[in-house]
Amino acid sequence: MSSKGISLDRPGRGPGMHMVKSNEKLNNPKEAINRLLKYIGGKKGSLVLIFVFCVITTIVSILGTKLNGDIVDKYIAVGDISGLYRICIVLIGMYVVATVSTFIQNRLMVSIAQKTSADIRKDLYSKMQHLPLSYYDTHSSGDLMSRLTNDIDNINMTLSQSITQLISGVINIVGMLIAMLMLSPSLTIIGLLTVPITIFGTRSIMKYTQPLFIKKQRDLGKLNGYIEEMVSGQKAVLLFGQEENVKEEFNNINQSITKSAILADALSGCMGPLNNFINNLTYLVLAVCGGVFILKGMNITVGVVFSIILYMRNFNQPINQILNISNSLQGALAGAERVFEVMDENPEKDKEDAIHVNDLQGEVKLKDVEFSYNKDKKILNKISLDANKGQTIAIVGPTGSGKTTVINLLNKFYNIDSGTITIDGKNIDDFSMESLRKSVAVVLQDTYLFSVSVRENLRYGNLNASDEEIIKAAKLANAHHFIMQLEDGYDTVLSDNGSNLSQGQRQLLAIARAILSKSSILILDEATSSIDTRTEVEIQEAMVNLMKGKTTFIIAHRLSTIRNADKILALKDGEIIEEGNHDKLLESNGFYANLYNSQFRSGLSI
């Protein structure tokens, strides 16, 4: 940890985590709009109904405005009070129709927006299940969560609030323009003179607000990533006394969002007052010009001038709405691009003729395997090893020597640069990834448990496992005893990542889950690294049951998991520098012997 806070660019296994470089311009807004329209296009029936009700609302508005002008000329001017009452009742009825029609439009659009966002969310989540591990190694999980939640919610809000305004706005503009031209072409032209000024002013403001809205959206993803990381690592923050540094860095990110949001919202907020000022000038000019026409005896009445002003108001309002929609649209498009950016990532793909296997024997061979996470540094260099069925292979070496990388390659989480990896004589590239990974059980140092019952956590290793098989696996893993001591036994719901269990209990559950998977290849990735020696006895006994008949790879750091291995590989700087069993390597008094004497001698033996 630095004195200035905890960086988001934190190294980890693999190439390391980093945030994607921020881009404050929309890359391809037209493409984003077209892709959103494809999602909306599946709701054509509802869109047609929205269009119909928008037309009804517009017609009612046009007729109502015309009747307001008639009130002045045909009833007020001649003193027809009874006629005035009748026309007012008609107008009230028309306003009720317009209100109901508008409600139906909004109801339909909310439904479309929710279904569209649900479809996008489903597609995004589905795509995330098929992205390679390398993608998650290089992207903050909090940022990905922000794309799945905040960005899609932003799209949903924009769709539900803006699409009906856009459709009804266009219909209103056309309808009002036709009505105005029919009443008075000359006043209509005078009123339209200010429209270009409104559009120019709005576009000028948008030029400055667009990058701010995009930056706000990206900063929000960065903040979510930071929060997710800090909440997960709160214990480390407290242990190392980094509370003040964490608060400082959080405040820096939070202030960055606040600054961009204030600037964006403040600038975009100028559009409303500016447009209102221009519109009010327009109404004043129309009133003055209309008065002049009447005084000069032109064929125009007070009611016509009144109707034109109302029409112009109804004409300008949707223009202003459409221009204002651009604000929310910018944020939605920024979110859409972030969503589609993930959707466009290359997924893991099997070969067209990939083999689906269920009965691998477990003969594993690596020949001249080379691998690097990036071109600057080679992680593995000409690695070769043979593991026969049922053999136990221990891999030892200092941190960064490539131990875990070997395991990742066996699971095909990454593609090798050169060389070959075969299982039972077949290249792993020829296997479907699903069947390959089902054939490999993994017990990690940091076991992940879901917030469901113990039973369901164990069943994750084999979704078809019966309750009897689950209990049998738990007994083999020495987990049955402590499970039965839990409040609800196998039905006890675990808290976040099994935090209500000890580390040893979590490891035993992981071993039971691996037993249920019935795989032919087993990987133990430092599975006892954070366990006390007493608990390790239980885990080692469970591991012996788990390893029976399986080809096992162990990333080891204690004597008990090394000494009885059939073969030990000593890695250093990505190369196998020694190979043999425990006694042979000790006799050679080389790298392994030094490593064993300095790190492993304190381990226990069963």
Q: pLDDT per residue over 386-445, tens digit each?
A: 988 888 888 888 878 888 888 888 888 888 889 999 998 888 888 888 888 888 888 877
Q: Which residue has the higher pLDDT, 315 or 328?
A: 315
Res 603 pLDDT > 50 = no
Q: Where are the CATH 1.20.1560.10 domain residues in the chain?
A: 29-343
For the record, the structure tokens of 325 come out as 């929609």
Res 334 pLDDT > 70 = yes
Segment 456-485 shows an average pLDDT of 88
Res 605 pLDDT > 70 = no
pLDDT at residue 367, as a whole number: 92
pLDDT at residue 314, as a whole number: 79
| Average per-residue pLDDT for the chain | 80
The rounded distance, in Å, linking the Cα atoms of 211 and 177 is 34
Burial class of residue 17, CB neighbours in 10 A (0-12, 13-18, 19+): buried
Strand arrangement of the beta sheet that strand 392-396 belongs to: 440-444, 521-525, 551-555, 392-396, 567-572, 575-580
Question: Per DSSP, what are the bridge partners of residue 386?
Answer: 365
What are the phi and psi torsion angles at 234 (to 5°)? -60, -35
First-to-last C-alpha distance (Å) of the chain = 39
pLDDT-based confidence at residue 100 (cuts at 50, 70, 90): very high
**Homologous superfamily assigned to 389-411+437-600:** P-loop containing nucleotide triphosphate hydrolases (3.40.50.300)
Distance of CA 349 to the CA centre of its chain: 21
Res 538 pLDDT > 80 = no
Segment 278-291 shows an average pLDDT of 86
Res 81 pLDDT > 80 = yes
What tens digit of pLDDT does each residue of 152-172 get?
Answer: 888 888 888 777 778 888 888
pLDDT at residue 212, as a whole number: 76
Is residue 43 helix, strand or coil?
helix
Looking at 3.40.50.10860, 3.30.460.20, 1.10.3720.10, 1.20.1560.10, the CATH number of the domain 29-343 comes to: 1.20.1560.10
Amino acid sitting at position 91: L
The rounded distance, in Å, linking the Cα atoms of 606 and 604 is 7
CB 62 within 8 A of CB 79: no
Q: Which residue has the higher pLDDT, 343 or 70?
A: 343
pLDDT at residue 292, as a whole number: 87
**Which of 177, 172, 195, 169 lies closest to 308 in space, CA to CA?**
177
pLDDT at residue 401, as a whole number: 84
The rounded distance, in Å, linking the Cα atoms of 268 and 209 is 7
Res 561 pLDDT > 70 = no
pLDDT-based confidence at residue 7 (cuts at 50, 70, 90): very low
pLDDT-based confidence at residue 327 (cuts at 50, 70, 90): low
pLDDT at residue 526, as a whole number: 66
For the chain, give the percent of residues with pLDDT over 70. 89
Residues 6+ apart with CB under 8 A from 345: 127, 131, 135
For the record, the structure tokens of 161 come out as 């609030």
pLDDT-based confidence at residue 365 (cuts at 50, 70, 90): very high
CB 526 within 8 A of CB 557: yes
Res 6 pLDDT > 50 = no
**Which of 492, 495, 473, 496 lies closest to 483 in space, CA to CA?**
492
Res 115 pLDDT > 60 = yes
pTM beyond 0.75: no
For the chain, give the percent of residues with pLDDT over 90. 5
Q: Where are the CATH 3.40.50.300 domain residues in the chain?
A: 389-411+437-600
Which of 189-203, 340-354, 404-418, 539-553 is the least confident region? 539-553
Tell me the pairing of strands 418-423 and 426-427.
Answer: antiparallel
pLDDT at residue 235, as a whole number: 66
HEC letters along 368-421 = EEEECCECCECCEEEEEEEECCCCEEEEECCCCCCHHHHHHHHCCCCCCCEEEE
pLDDT at residue 484, as a whole number: 92
pLDDT at residue 606, as a whole number: 36
Segment 350-370 shows an average pLDDT of 85
Segment 27-51 shows an average pLDDT of 83
Neighbours of 336 (CB within 10 A): 25
**Which of 362, 410, 417, 351 lies closest to 390 in space, CA to CA?**
362
pLDDT-based confidence at residue 559 (cuts at 50, 70, 90): low
What tens digit of pLDDT does each residue of 170-222 get?
Answer: 888 888 888 888 888 888 888 888 888 877 877 777 777 777 777 777 787 77
Res 108 pLDDT > 50 = yes
Rounded to 10°, the helix 302-343/271-295 angle is 160
